[in-house]
Chain A
């Protein structure tokens, strides 16, 4: 465990340096990216100098990096060039919505995908398996924004069952249970879009693993022991099919938190980290990019750690292999 810990720390430091360097390697600079587009503003030399100084762009790169690391240890993620607020404040205003949307989507699609995958794999070749398989394969082909627009048009515009935009009804003065209902109502369509998109992946992965596991001798033994079908499916075969799905989810989680949601956020005007990072790229907002990449890095490293620990529970053989 000690060596694993060191590995994580080294990985973290390298990623920290890359997170600092990569945004600065992009063509274009924050000053032009943020202030260049509007022809009516008056970019006087005095203003340009002031902005360059406040962005720290006049300092040599190594000095900028050390300042960044230093303030990081103080818990200060810097000040956004574009949003003109502390980076931490900006991230914290978007992150909860992303966790709500993506977290729920991941959980729902994970649970549904695994259950359907187990059922399908158990009944491989039969009618229910075939129909589920065909259904899922067709779903996996749709891009997220297409599904989103489709659901929005049908359930939002035509049937008027759900709101057309936002995470909640702005300034409606709701609180308590009313607010909860409002947020849930706004959550349904973007959530359904993401679940549809994620579901097929988890399902197919579980099903294919299940199909191989079912042929293992221990399943025959379990049957011979007289255990119920359901118990064998879940407690014995199913549990052993989880490892690929858990690995895949762990790998996807960190990046999905940001990139996966962007198109859905645009279609539904939903707040989230996707839009924050996309805007930061367009405005070359280095502090926000560094901050968001840092958050993603920490999340990915933590999830990796959890997946590592989960392996031991799912398959005790891996513990002894270490």
Chain B
């Protein structure tokens, strides 16, 4: 092969490259009139088969299913609103909820929706535990007539409407009554619901979903014909949004302003995703409450928010609940303002003294702590951990940073093999009962602190208090005690942003969708406003 042949070869290769693209471009312009499709970009794409038992155990999985299945009540900008139930009342004497169901509602296959489906769903989840609802709270669901159901609870449960009636998808009895293995039920009948959209396609490998409007929806025909979810890398999503390939996606904080300048609407999530410093309060020196206080005074949270998050975060409240929780949030707690002198004072009161190398020690033993960076191991966690290390070493506590694979870190935390760990989770935006889950329950995101008996009593009590005023008082007291005990230190709450082109008015539902999932894609956005 001569030099000329090589050159010719390269030229041919490049030519075919361009030919391919030109031809490809031409093809795309020959289009028939498309139905009105709303496209949403998602970084993960695949959240499982959108049936109640098929979706992956994550918020976005629930959201996919929520387009197809309706619940008894739902939420919009104003709060809890009727969905499949038109009216409801709490019968205090019986600890039961009476639901008057909407008439003339049909499932996607045309079958009428009746009280039998509601009764069936409640008993089905007792037999086949469903992930998002603790079915032990339901004693029994009783059919009063074709369109009325009475749900008896086994104990007083304040968040029943928020966390059960507003979360549980109603299954069509005629399609589910013979299903013995709900997770393996993936035939067409598994995604028949009463929701505003029908499932047309779910492609796991490509991470895409396609929904079609259900024209006989009881609140009227949706304003778009189809909704399409695409898997798209978060770095490229803004470019796709600008090109008009997608209508909405979540955007990283640093380009939020740029997207706003380009004319896109930005939705801001009321912060509820907490970045938490977990403390192993089961071992020394963390057993001492004052030591934990010293750590809190030593960490400059304002600095971390400014430098790591560039302002796109809210400083953590020591009582755990974020300020966006409104009436539930208690602002009266000591916010542990950055005070290195105070921190040193506390350490010295505890008997520590500065060693020759500038670090505190007691009984000849230097204070050597390990800070584990837990899941998710994103850059902001690493930066935050580095700043915490700098702050703590600044007052004289030696810190060793360790970054582990996400699940290995989780399992070390679960088994109490850590000193300090930086982790995080979302969900504080939902009903305050989540506090019980993240303070006393046994999982790696929980503080697992049960040493203050009063705190435990209050946490178990608040869920039974049917009077909102009483419950708010209890939740305030819980935050006060937590802020005093400080079994973990809330560093900040992340701000999440979505950008969209305004074709549909998306909004963040106060207290989150369903069980408290903070995304702005409420199915109600796709219906005519009422």
Encode A21-37 as 1/0 by CB contact (under 8 A) with B: 00000111100111111
Who on chain A is nearest to B27 by CB? A181
* B203 in contact with A170 (CB, 8 Å): yes
Chain B: minimal CB distance from A293 (Å) = 18
Interface-located stretch among B81-89, B100-108, B129-137, B307-315? B129-137
Q: What are 29 A-B interface contacts by the 8 Å CB criterion?
A: A27-B408, A28-B410, A28-B411, A36-B445, A37-B375, A37-B410, A37-B445, A38-B57, A40-B430, A40-B434, A42-B132, A47-B129, A83-B204, A84-B48, A149-B235, A157-B239, A161-B21, A164-B239, A165-B231, A165-B240, A168-B206, A171-B201, A171-B210, A171-B228, A178-B27, A181-B27, A185-B20, A269-B207, A271-B206
* B27 in contact with A84 (CB, 8 Å): no
Interface size class of B (residues with CB under 8 A): 35 or more
* A164 in contact with B183 (CB, 8 Å): no
* A185 in contact with B1 (CB, 8 Å): no
B-chain residues with CB within 8 Å of residue A44 when the two chains form the complex: 129, 134-136
Interface size class of A (residues with CB under 8 A): 35 or more
Interface-located stretch among B169-177, B362-370, B389-397, B436-444? B436-444
* A269 in contact with B233 (CB, 8 Å): yes
Those 4 A-B pairs whose CB atoms lie nearest each other, nearest first: A28-B411, A47-B129, A28-B407, A271-B205
A-chain residues with CB within 8 Å of residue B510 when the two chains form the complex: none
Known: A41-B57, A188-B17. A166 touches B231 (CB 8 A): yes
For the complex, would chain B's binding face be called helix, strand, loop or mixed by DSSP majority?
mixed
Known: A84-B48, A93-B204, A170-B210. A157 touches B236 (CB 8 A): yes
B-chain residues with CB within 8 Å of residue A300 when the two chains form the complex: none
Encode A119-161 as 1/0 by CB contact (under 8 A) with B: 1000000001000000000000000000001001000110011
Known: A84-B184, A181-B24. A90 touches B204 (CB 8 A): yes
Q: Would you list which residues of chain A between 261 and 288 have a CB under 8 Å from chain B?
A: 266-269, 271, 282, 284
* B1 in contact with A119 (CB, 8 Å): yes
A185 and B56 CA atoms in complex are apart in Å by: 31
* A47 in contact with B235 (CB, 8 Å): no
* B205 in contact with A94 (CB, 8 Å): yes
* A165 in contact with B236 (CB, 8 Å): yes
Residues of A within 8 A of B (CB): 26-29, 32-44, 46-47, 50, 54, 79, 82-85, 90, 93-94, 97, 115, 119, 128, 149, 152, 156-157, 160-162, 164-168, 170-171, 178, 181-182, 184-185, 188, 230, 233, 266-269, 271, 282, 284
* B21 in contact with A38 (CB, 8 Å): no
B412 interface residue, CB < 8 Å from A?
Answer: yes
* B434 in contact with A39 (CB, 8 Å): yes
* B444 in contact with A164 (CB, 8 Å): no
B199 interface residue, CB < 8 Å from A?
Answer: no
A278 and B226 CA atoms in complex are apart in Å by: 32
B-chain residues with CB within 8 Å of residue A28 when the two chains form the complex: 407-408, 410-411
A47 and B231 CA atoms in complex are apart in Å by: 31
A-chain residues with CB within 8 Å of residue B407 when the two chains form the complex: 26-28, 32-33, 282, 284
* A36 in contact with B410 (CB, 8 Å): yes
Q: Which listed residue (B228, B235, B444) contacts A170, Cβ 8 A? A: B228
Which has the most chain B C-beta neighbours within 10 Å: A119, A162, A165?
A165
A246 and B217 CA atoms in complex are apart in Å by: 62
Encode B15-46 as 1/0 by CB contact (under 8 A) with A: 00100110111010000000001000000010
- Extra A-B contacts (7), CB below 8 Å, given A27-B412, A165-B231: A26-B407, A36-B444, A164-B239, A166-B208, A166-B232, A188-B21, A284-B407
B-chain residues with CB within 8 Å of residue A39 when the two chains form the complex: 425-427, 434, 437-438, 443, 445-446
* B406 in contact with A282 (CB, 8 Å): yes
* A160 in contact with B134 (CB, 8 Å): no
* A267 in contact with B132 (CB, 8 Å): no
* B243 in contact with A32 (CB, 8 Å): no
Who on chain B is nearest to A167 by CB? B206
Q: Which listed residue (A32, A38, A93, A156) contacts B427, Cβ 8 A? A: A38
Known: A181-B27, A282-B406, A282-B407. A40 touches B515 (CB 8 A): yes
* A271 in contact with B445 (CB, 8 Å): no
Q: Which listed residue (A33, A94, A119) contacts B410, Cβ 8 A? A: A33
Known: A33-B407, A37-B425. A42 touches B131 (CB 8 A): yes
Q: Which listed residue (B184, B236, B408, B437) contacts A164, Cβ 8 A? A: B236
A40 and B226 CA atoms in complex are apart in Å by: 29
A161 and B446 CA atoms in complex are apart in Å by: 49
A282 and B245 CA atoms in complex are apart in Å by: 31
Which has the most chain B C-beta neighbours within 10 Å: A27, A35, A184, A269?
A269
